[in-house]
Structure 1
């Protein structure tokens, strides 16, 4: 995507919020998972392993037919698990004059302002809810309690923008 299109896309949103801690911890967890799988894949058919001048003897593991394919498969499983963990870096909340865009793990959903009642934080939970009429809601995984003051500021900004845009629609009608 060109920079001009990206700038134009960013300019139509007044608030774009992504979880800070979730992104950091997801990346760390993905690296750890790949490192663990790479280590165990490497050690899968090793009876002796030297590390910093010390020789570790694991003894005979009794398996004779483990090959390179098995080792690479364990690493590939780790990469797939890391990819699943990295899905946690996707949540995003976007708010603009046209409405609200909520992207959780897989896809993004867009809602017009006339569909939305508000945003709240449930008493027991770790992410905010986007509320709709008749007690319906969807989770907003981007606004999480772990982000502390940043999440509170995002909810306040959302409520300010909701008030501005819903009152503008009422005035236009």
Structure 2
């Protein structure tokens, strides 16, 4: 883990009151979509050689189709990456890219605006960081996740009790 996501050499989200959150529906749909996409491209690659299309497909074309399907499936799996780790020291948010660690001092609040698809961390100067791991489609799980994150934030702001 990079020094950018660590604080004092401790991995975020490993304390006694640590919370780890991942989306549920998006995770399932991403894996299903990736598997179906790859299977579709494999089937197309097999059928290309045997169908009468007027074009001659070779083994290299078939391999290319499977590789293209694998690349697209990998892109779909990016939607399975979101995760949040939080503890009494701060929060680490990983959307589809690299994780970003924020100490609780820079987080002004955790919001889930009406009509929003996912939660966000409110930061200074009207900036915010989207939290794709907490999604509206997860319903009660999203509510429980927001409550847990807000509790950790409130505990860190008010001081340990």
TM normalised by structure 2 equals 0.87
Equivalent residues of 2:14, 2:87 under 8 A apart: no
Residue 36, structure 1, aligned to residue 40, structure 2: yes
SS of the residue corresponding to residue 11 of structure 1 reads: coil
Equivalent pairs, count:
151
Determine the structure 2 residue equivalent to 1:144: 135
Alignment of 1:74-113 (within 5 A): 74-113=65-104
Tell me the residue number matched to 1:11: 14
Report the Cα offset of residue 124 of structure 1. 3.2
Question: Which 5+ residue runs of structure 1 have no aligned equivalent?
Answer: 1-7, 48-59
Q: What is the CA RMSD across the aligned residues, in angstroms?
A: 1.9
Distance apart, 1:89 and its partner CA: 1.2
Matches of 2:147 and 2:81 in 1, distance apart?
Answer: 22
* Unaligned segments of structure 2, at least 5 residues: 1-9
Write 1 or 2 for the structure with the bigger share of strand: 1
Give the Cα–Cα distance (whole angstroms) in 1 for the partners of residues 44 and 54 of structure 2.
16
Query: The residue matched to 1:143 in structure 2 has which SS?
Result: strand
1:22-171 aligned at under 5 Å gives the runs 22-47=26-51, 60-64=52-56, 66-168=57-159
Larger Rg over CA atoms: 1
1:16 Cα offset (Å)? 0.7
1:158 is displaced (CA, Å) by: 0.9
1:73 Cα deviation after fit: 0.4
Give the superposition deviation at 1:11.
Answer: 3.2
Secondary structure at the aligned position of 1:83 is classed as helix
Question: Partner of 1:34: helix, strand, or coil?
Answer: helix
Shift of 1:14: 1.4
